Chain A
């Protein structure tokens, strides 16, 4: 069974940094591209970033490019999202998501339970 468990969310001041983690199990983690998707307080879903299975290719939404960094540690089966220069509009529930097949740019078959990030002073 695929299991994705996010952690690291919390309340952070504007301009601050936060690192999210997603512990993965139940599938060959190193072969799958992985994604971060967020859901705003208004319930809109927004794709944030994708990393290839090897970690050699990364893709970002324009709204986070240059501020967020997606990475992975295949030895620990863990996905990360380092978020710098946080803004109020980054407030959201952040989900990690596994695609249906190992490649990037795919439908998202498995999701974690999400971790809430609140950016506020």
Chain B
């Protein structure tokens, strides 16, 4: 099973600041990584697929980079609605696995 490790667990930032979230895979997953946002009381929402492709309707301030084992989600300038939990997920091999999440909270 491919283990995804997200860091940091919590990121405390102010609106307008840049957020950088990391996801590391236990083995190479090429570019088969997705990022999701989950707001309180809501289901996860797909932000980025295949490492760097924004899903439909996702603002340009969200970007993804990486390949192999190291991936990054960047939010260029935090909006109030961006304070949420973010998960990564790999689709390279069965079973599908998710990272433990990073909480982006208001400082």
Contacts and interface: CB of A to CB of B under 8 A. Distances in A.
Contacts of A108: 34, 36, 44, 46, 89
B61 interface: no
Interface string B76-107: 00000000010101010111111011000000
Contacts of B87: 45
Contact of A106 (B43, B91, B97): B91
A111 B91 CA distance: 17
A113 B38 CA distance: 12
Contacts of B13: none
B101 A43 contact: yes
15 contacts: A43-B85, A44-B98, A44-B100, A45-B89, A46-B98, A47-B98, A50-B96, A59-B94, A61-B95, A105-B96, A108-B44, A109-B46, A109-B55, A110-B46, A111-B44
B35 to A, nearest CB: 9
Nearest to B92: A105
Interface residues of A, number: 22
Given A108-B34, A113-B43, A100 B55 contact: yes
Lowest 10 CB-CB distances: which A-B pairs, in order? A111-B43, A47-B96, A107-B49, A107-B34, A45-B98, A109-B46, A105-B91, A61-B95, A47-B95, A106-B91
B50 interface: yes
A47 B95 CA distance: 7
Contacts of B36: 108
A43 B10 CA distance: 14
B45 interface: yes
Interface string A26-48: 00000000010000000111110
A107 B95 contact: no
